[in-house]
């Protein structure tokens, strides 16, 4: 293991016969400042090893950088730009910011640019080998602290400082005091690193580590995976920490070995001076939960047992890695999710998503189906290869390289393109489920008309392929009481062209009756209107009038508004 310049093999310096010991933060920042000795509280000037800026808000430092009058960034190879928040863009200002970030990356020659869909920054930096032990990382993201899992000093900065660092490559900071968290013992079954950091949060409080370096150590560390360490380091920001770090050991070395990069690790001295020291026996921990609305309002799960749950989210930057998803899958197994609970899964990156998909495909006993593979170059290749390998059916999402198709012709071209690529790999048309995708009618009214035109020609341009839609797409953004009218009418329109499958609201009893053929009246009405009939509202039932009015909105014959049923 290499050591930073100026640090002896025992990690201590001798001054006037006295051995001086240092924390991780003091050692690393002293080395980065090219100073033989620094202590907590001192100000140092440093040059970072990596600068990471995230999401649409990266537009802010870009504008500030322009105001500085500097034409080129200090070092494009040390800059990382990632679009992960506000994805897909929720509004035009976010979309324009994404476009600005893409253009800036191209203009400045920033090769470490990760577009929408690659993953969340806190995962990608470690997963892609963009942070190593002994490095100093600044990120325009509060949870930059995560990268201490691999032995780096990583901390967050604001947009102004990021812009200035792009221009100069230098900044200053105060050396933080440090907290030592010594870990002993071993987790009991059902207890994990999330329980560990929640217990620490409950002990120190939400402001118990403000501007401090949390340094984890002890014999139990070697039993923590890299995913465990990332979870713990990530959540230290919730305690106000400036940095959180784990020692570099065999786990670190094994994780980083594939990148083939040599690094200089920094370890704190055994007798370093800490502002506070904690000792946690992992064997004493039980499952923990942070109760609303504070991260430090931590209780044993047993204390809240029986409390009804409406929604569960597994994923993102603290628990979206493969071993997290595997743990959840082992609990669920063949059980059904409660019908009154919403379970959301968000893999931390595309790499994790594909690995989880393959792990699932390996266990499926019936013919599996992969949902969904789009036409974007970085997605269709890996997805179709998995489908071929496991003889899986595929939901072919007609989201092209340029995004949402604009009309029926562009959708048709996407169908032909997808079928051709699948056939090249030996995947038959009968294995493909075409999802023509549509924007909400509240956003773009002509999309439905284009989709219906495609459905009318689908059998001719893609014989053997099936069709599938997610009904809720059409009604996103519409007031909840009105959404069923859009969903049902949309379904009836597509049934005219032999729709094979739809993702439906199982609690909408009228919709289920339509699916089962028990409401032929409204179905026939919609199909006649699609053939050009203009019904006399006076001859229709109240329900049929609502369906007729909804059809006219979806067909683009009348403008959408939240009051379309009242007009």
DSSP secondary structure string for all residues of 177-210: EEEEEEEES-PPTT--HHHHHHHHHHHH-TTTTT
The SS3 call for residue 278 is strand
Q: What whole-number distance in Å separates Cα of residue 532 and Cα of residue 24? A: 76
Strand partners, 367: none
Q: What whole-number distance in Å separates Cα of residue 494 and Cα of residue 5? A: 69
- The position carrying tokens 């506000």 is 86
**Secondary structure (H, E, C), 286-302:** CCEEECCCCCCCEEEHH
Contacts of 494 (CB under 8 A, 6+ apart): 452, 455, 467, 469, 502
Nearest Cα to Cα of residue 154 among 127, 112, 181, 125? 125
Note whether 44 and 32 are within 8 A (CB).
Answer: yes
Element (H, E) at 51: strand 50-54
Note whether 288 and 300 are within 8 A (CB).
Answer: yes
**Before 372, cis peptide (omega within 30)?**
yes
Q: Domains (ranges, CATH) in the chain? A: 308-363 (3.30.499.10), 368-554 (3.20.20.20)
What pLDDT, on the 0 to 100 scale, is given for residue 22? 94
Q: What whole-number distance in Å separates Cα of residue 28 and Cα of residue 24? A: 6
Q: What whole-number distance in Å separates Cα of residue 15 and Cα of residue 31? A: 17
What's the CA angle centered on 321, arms 317 and 327, to 5 degrees?
120
Angle between helices 542-554 and 520-530 (to 10 degrees): 40
Q: Encode 114-146: b = buried (16+ Cβ within 10 Å), e = exposed.
A: bbbbbbbbbbbbbbbebbbbbbbbbbbbebbbb
What pLDDT, on the 0 to 100 scale, is given for residue 125? 95
Q: What whole-number distance in Å separates Cα of residue 38 and Cα of residue 21? A: 11
Length of the chain: 567
Q: What whole-number distance in Å separates Cα of residue 18 and Cα of residue 247? A: 26
Nearest Cα to Cα of residue 522 among 482, 562, 551? 551
Task: Give alpha helix (H) positions in 425-506.
Answer: 446-461, 472-475, 483-495
Q: What is the pLDDT along the chain (567 residues), one digit of tens a residue?
A: 333 333 232 334 445 445 679 999 999 999 999 998 899 999 999 999 999 998 767 789 999 999 999 999 999 999 999 988 877 666 777 788 888 999 999 999 999 999 888 889 999 999 999 999 999 999 998 899 999 999 999 999 999 999 999 999 999 999 999 999 999 999 999 999 999 999 999 999 889 999 999 999 999 999 999 999 999 999 999 999 999 999 999 999 999 999 999 999 999 998 999 999 999 999 999 999 999 888 889 999 999 999 999 999 998 888 899 999 999 988 888 888 888 888 889 899 989 988 998 998 988 888 899 988 888 877 888 899 999 999 999 999 988 877 788 888 999 999 999 999 999 999 999 999 999 888 888 888 788 888 999 999 999 999 999 999 988 888 988 999 999 999 999 999 999 998 999 988 888 999 999 999 999 999 999 999 999 999 999 999 999 999 999 999 999 999 889 999 988
Strand partners, 379: none
From residue 225, how far is each of 161, 271, 313 by CA, in Å?
A: 33, 26, 22
pTM above 0.95, yes or no: no
Beta strands in 337-480 (DSSP E): 342-346, 369-373, 393-397, 432-435, 466-470
Strand partners, 298: 290
Beta strands in 238-397 (DSSP E): 243-245, 276-281, 288-290, 298-300, 311-315, 342-346, 369-373, 393-397
Output Rg (C-alpha) for the chain, integer angstroms: 28
Nearest Cα to Cα of residue 243 among 179, 193, 307, 290? 179
Distance, first Cα to last Cα, the chain? 75
Cβ-based neighbour number of residue 402 at 10 Å: 11
Note whether 173 and 138 are within 8 A (CB).
Answer: no
- The position carrying tokens 């120190």 is 204
The SS3 call for residue 50 is strand
What pLDDT, on the 0 to 100 scale, is given for residue 183? 97
């Amino acid at each position: 293991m290499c050591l930073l310049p100026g640090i002896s093999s025992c990690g201590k310096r001798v001054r006037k016969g006295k051995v001086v010991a240092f924390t991780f933060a003091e050692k690393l920042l002293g080395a980065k400042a090219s100073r033989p000795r620094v202590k907590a509280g001192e100000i140092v000037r440093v040059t970072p090893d990596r600068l990471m800026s995230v999401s649409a808000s990266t537009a802010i430092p870009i504008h500030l950088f322009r105001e500085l009058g500097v034409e080129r960034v200090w070092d494009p190879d040390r800059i990382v730009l990632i679009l992960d928040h506000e994805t897909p863009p929720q509004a035009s200002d976010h979309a324009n910011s994404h476009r600005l970030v893409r253009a800036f990356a191209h203009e400045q020659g920033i090769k470490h640019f990760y577009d929408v869909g690659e993953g969340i920054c806190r995962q990608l930096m470690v997963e892609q080998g963009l942070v190593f032990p002994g490095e100093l990382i600044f990120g325009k993201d509060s949870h930059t602290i995560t990268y201490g899992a691999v032995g780096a000093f990583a901390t967050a900065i604001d947009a102004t400082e990021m812009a200035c660092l792009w221009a100069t490559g230098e900044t200053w900071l105060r050396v933080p005091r440090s907290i030592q968290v010594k870990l002993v013992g071993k987790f009991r079954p059902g207890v994990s690193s999330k329980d560990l950091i929640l217990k620490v949060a409950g002990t120190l409080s939400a402001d118990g580590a403000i501007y401090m370096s949390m340094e984890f150590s002890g014999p139990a560390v070697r039993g923590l995976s890299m995913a465990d360490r990332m979870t713990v380091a990530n959540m230290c920001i919730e305690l106000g920490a400036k940095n959180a770090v784990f020692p570099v050991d065999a786990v670190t070395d094994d994780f980083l070995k594939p990148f083939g990069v040599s690094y200089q690790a920094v370890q704190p001295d055994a007798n370093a001076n800490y502002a506070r020291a904690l000792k946690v026996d992992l064997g004493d921990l039980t499952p923990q939960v942070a109760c609303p609305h504070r991260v430090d309002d931590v209780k044993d799960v047993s204390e809240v047992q029986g409390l009804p749950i409406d929604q569960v989210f597994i994923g993102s930057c603290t628990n979206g890695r493969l071993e997290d998803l595997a743990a959840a899958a082992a609990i669920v197994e063949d059980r059904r999710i409660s019908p009154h609970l919403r379970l959301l899964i968000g893999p931390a990156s595309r790499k994790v998503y594909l690995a989880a998909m393959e792990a699932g495909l390996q266990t499926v006993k019936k013919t599996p189906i992969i949902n969904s593979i789009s036409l974007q170059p970085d997605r269709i290749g890996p997805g179709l290869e998995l489908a071929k390998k496991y003889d899986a059916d595929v939901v072919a999402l007609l989201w092209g390289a340029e995004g949402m198709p604009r009309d029926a012709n562009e959708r048709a071209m996407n169908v032909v393109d997808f079928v051709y690529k699948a056939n090249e790999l030996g995947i038959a048309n009968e294995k493909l489920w075409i999802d023509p995708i549509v924007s909400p009618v509240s956003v773009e009214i002509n999309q439905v008309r284009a989709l219906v035109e495609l459905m009318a020609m689908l059998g001719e341009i893609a014989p053997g392929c099936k069709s599938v839609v997610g009904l809720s797409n059409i009604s996103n953004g519409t007031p909840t009481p009105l959404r069923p009218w859009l969903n049902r009418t949309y379904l009836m329109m597509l049934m005219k062209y032999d729709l094979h499958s739809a993702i439906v609201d199982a609690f909408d009893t009228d919709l289920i009756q339509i699916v089962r053929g028990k409401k032929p009246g409204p179905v026939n009405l919609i199909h006649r209107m699609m053939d050009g009939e203009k019904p006399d509202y006076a001859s229709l039932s109240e329900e049929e009038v609502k369906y007729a009015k909804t059809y006219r909105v979806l067909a683009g014959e009348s403008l959408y508004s939240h009051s379309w049923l009242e007009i």
